Amino acid sequence: MSRIRIATTVNGEPVEFLGGGSQSLLDALRDELGLTGSKEGCGTGDCGACSVMVDGRLVCSCLMLAPEAEGRRIETIEGMAENGELHPLQTSFLDEAALQCGFCTPGLLIAAKALLDRNPDPTETEVRYWLAGNVCRCTGYDKVVRAVMSAAATMRQAPKATEAVT
């Protein structure tokens, strides 16, 4: 595999790594940068376990080639808590028991945050359709949807506290 130097920003920090060929952004994050919080459940963009934000857009990192990260702003689950403080979505997932095995959880959290960044007051139906790209086999989604709605309510009540993370 011919490898090239790729410079990008991950969770606010500039990083460089060698990558390329058929390597996906997901593989680069996991293998080159050691950020294993993003998971591979399918490798075909169907399960959402590898969800990350790229320049503010929600993408499946398994579908993006590593060199395409050049000059972009990548956000992963590892950057969601700030200075060791959990994001309201993370707190809400724990309070609502919205995870069982926890494997799809990073992707669900990234996707849910992308939703709340755009729509701070989603209906249950909006939450369900937004998260339809994130497959969870354990929970039946009930507690996941409740957790997202509850985090949204918390964030609406305390806009200042969440300013830093939006």
Partner 1 sequence: MSDGDDAPARELKVVGQRPVRPDGADKVTGRAMFGADFRLPGMLAGRVKRSPHPHARIVSIDTTAAAALPGVKAIVTGADFDLAAAGKIEAGESATDVKSVSINCMAHEKALYQGHAVAAVAATSAEIADEALDLIEVTYEVLPHVIDVEDAMKDGAPLLYPDMITTGESPAPTEPSNIASKMVAGCGDVKGAMERADIVVEGRYRTAAVHQGYIEPHACVASWGADGQAVVWASTQGQFLVRALTAKICNMPLSDLKVIPSEIGGGFGGKTTVYLEPVALTLSRKCGRPVKLVMSREEVFIASGPTSGSVIDVKLGAMKDGTIIAAEATLAYQAGAFPGSPVNLGCMTAFACYDIENVGLVGYDVVSNRPKVAAYRAPGAPMAAFAVESAIDELALKLNMDPIDLRLKNAVREGAKAVYGATLKSIGFVETLEAVKAHPNYTTPPAPGVTRGVAAGFWFNIGGESSASVHVDEDGGVTVVSANPDIGGSRASMVMMAAEVIGVPVEHVRGIVADTASIGFSSTTGGSRVTFATGMAVVQAAERIVEDLKLRAAKTWDCDVSQVDWKEGRALCLDPSKDVQPLDLRSIAGKSARTGGPIGAEVSLNAQGAAPGFGVHVCDLKVDPETGQTTIVKYTAAQDVGRAIHPSYVEGQLQGGAAQGVGWALNEEYVYGPNGTLENASFLDYRMPVASDLPMIDTILVESRPNPRHPFGVKGVGEVPIVPPLAAVANAISRITNKRMTSLPLSPMKVLDALSGD
Q: How far is the CB of 153 from partner 1 (least distance, A)?
A: 16
Per DSSP bridges, beta strands 51-54 and 4-10 are unpaired
β-bridge mates for residue 13, sequence order: 10
H helices of 44-157, where? 88-95, 105-118, 124-130, 142-157
The pattern of x and - marking residues 32 through 71 that bind partner 1 according to CB under 8 A reads ---xxxxxxxxxx-xx-x----------------------
Nearer to partner 1, 46 or 71 (CB): 46
Which tokens is 82 given?
Answer: 């700030």
Regarding 7 and contact with partner 1 (CB under 8 A), the answer is: no
β-bridge mates for residue 10, sequence order: 13, 74
Segment contacting partner 1 by CB under 8 A, of 65-73, 115-123, 133-141, 155-163: 133-141
Which tokens is 5 given?
Answer: 């130097």
Which tokens is 159 given?
Answer: 């806009």
Regarding 150 and contact with partner 1 (CB under 8 A), the answer is: no
The residue ranges that bind partner 1 (CB under 8 A) are 1, 21-22, 30, 35-44, 46-47, 49, 76-78, 80-81, 86, 90, 93-97, 99-106, 109, 124-125, 127-129, 131-146
